[in-house]
Amino acid sequence: MSELGGDRSPAHRKPPTVISVVTDHLGRIRSSDGLFAHYYGVESRDVAGTLLEEYVCSEDRPYLRSLLTAPMDQRVDGVVRFCLLGQGFVPTRVVIEPGPARSTFAVAIIGRDLPCREHERGDPNGLLLAQAVLNQTRDLILVLDSEGQVLLRSPSVKEFIGRDPVGFGFCKVLPLEPDSDFEIKKTNNPLRASSPAPGNGSTPASGRYRFPARNNRRIQVVVDQVISPDDPRGKKNGSVVRLDEETERLEGESRMGGGREDLSASSREIQQFVYAASHDLQEPLRMVSSYLQLLERRYAGRLDKEGLEFIGFALDGAKRMQELIDALLVYSRVVSRARPSGPVDARMAVAEALEHLEQKLATTHAEITVGSMPIVWADRAQLVQVFEHLIDNALTYYSDAVPRVMIDAERLNGSTRFRVQDNGIGIDPQFHNRVFELFSRLNAREKYPGIGIGLAVVQRIIERHGGLCWVESSEGSGSTFFFTLPDHPMVEDA
């Protein structure tokens, strides 16, 4: 497939050739287009299963590996020398992005001035011309081949979806749902009898949809059948798809939308307030506790027992306030220090959380069992935090028995449900909702330490990931904490 979009190469150069490869996280090729085999001198059927680095100059292999192991939150870009058939090592740009399935990478090898292949001479399918036309519009227009794969797109489509859909199936990159609200309200309109069906599975049908990945934005899809540009003999149907964003909104909805914007602005403000307050509160607090300590240090001999006790209470208060400020900071960082999500091996996340809890595990002699753990789409550091707080909780609120913690996961339709089960003191069902509130505690501080931050952080992280968390428990019989993480819209079941 040729790259025809965005890049404006100088007129005298032919457009770069984009060779697409999908690899797993080790760089093993899962699939590639025909061009890869053509240019790098192997039979198409032999490509899958080989390592991408085998086609690269040995000196550049560590670099390629480093590109493939970079955090997957954004596309990475580099130049490595590929061994081009008949031409030796040619420096070639590679662009690596998260791939179509979990734990895969989409590698685009961008070859410049590659030797022409027969069919590339000229513009026999009119793709270059079509792209040039598309580049002139601000509308959202895509051209699909007979399989529903995106061949071309107007520049604004990339912004709308958040990534370049070229080379991917339309229904994969733009998972749409029929707009049922709309249908219910308009069923009595005979002109609108045909309900939007999701098309034939790979190509959409015209109709009104919602786009769940983008705040359920309403979209009208208009599909025109054309002769597929990838089949010059004209036997297959491709399609030209136009997406119209709905601008008129129902009254209630616009009120709701406005409210949502206000909410996000005010939550940003709260965020800044919490950060500033917790930061600026530390300074005077440090003075209070430092000088109380200095007082104790210098004047202990001159104070009576009661005087020392009073200093003790004051210091204890200052210490608790410091803990609360630290907790507020931790809580505000769930948003302020959030990183983009990527594929995370949940087993590794649990292992890291256990490492952080090493000391507590040793003193409590806890038994930890970890069941099967999938790869999920999450902010890695935050997933570790979730496990850390949940396991820490289990190690804190234990009864007389040796604490036993069981962690496992179950794939549900569209999400993964995790479970952290303990044999601890349990929670009275009437408090199940309160345990997730910030600074809420159910037990005397003297008996169980803590200030009620862990589960609040867990809930905030899970909500930020679009999941849910809850607890099932009764007093005296252990607790089971559940949380779900939705699948990434781009991730299909591997």
Work out how close the CB of 464 gets to other proteins at its nearest, in angstroms, rounded to a whole number.
21
Token readout for 314 is 């004051």
Using the minimum distance from each CB to other proteins, give the nearer residue, 125 or 282: 282
Using the minimum distance from each CB to other proteins, give the nearer residue, 277 or 468: 277
Using the minimum distance from each CB to other proteins, give the nearer residue, 186 or 279: 279
Using the minimum distance from each CB to other proteins, give the nearer residue, 117 or 337: 337
Work out how close the CB of 284 gets to other proteins at its nearest, in angstroms, rounded to a whole number.
9
Using the minimum distance from each CB to other proteins, give the nearer residue, 133 or 294: 294
Work out how close the CB of 307 gets to other proteins at its nearest, in angstroms, rounded to a whole number.
18
Work out how close the CB of 264 gets to other proteins at its nearest, in angstroms, rounded to a whole number.
24
Using the minimum distance from each CB to other proteins, give the nearer residue, 157 or 334: 334
Q: Under the rule (CB under 8 A), what is the footprint of other proteins?
A: 279, 282-283, 285-287, 289-291, 293-294, 297, 322
Work out how close the CB of 454 gets to other proteins at its nearest, in angstroms, rounded to a whole number.
20
Work out how close the CB of 311 gets to other proteins at its nearest, in angstroms, rounded to a whole number.
12
Neighbours of 39 (CB within 10 A): 24
Work out how close the CB of 355 gets to other proteins at its nearest, in angstroms, rounded to a whole number.
21
Work out how close the CB of 298 gets to other proteins at its nearest, in angstroms, rounded to a whole number.
9
Using the minimum distance from each CB to other proteins, give the nearer residue, 273 or 291: 291
Using the minimum distance from each CB to other proteins, give the nearer residue, 272 or 290: 290
Using the minimum distance from each CB to other proteins, give the nearer residue, 46 or 283: 283
Work out how close the CB of 300 gets to other proteins at its nearest, in angstroms, rounded to a whole number.
13
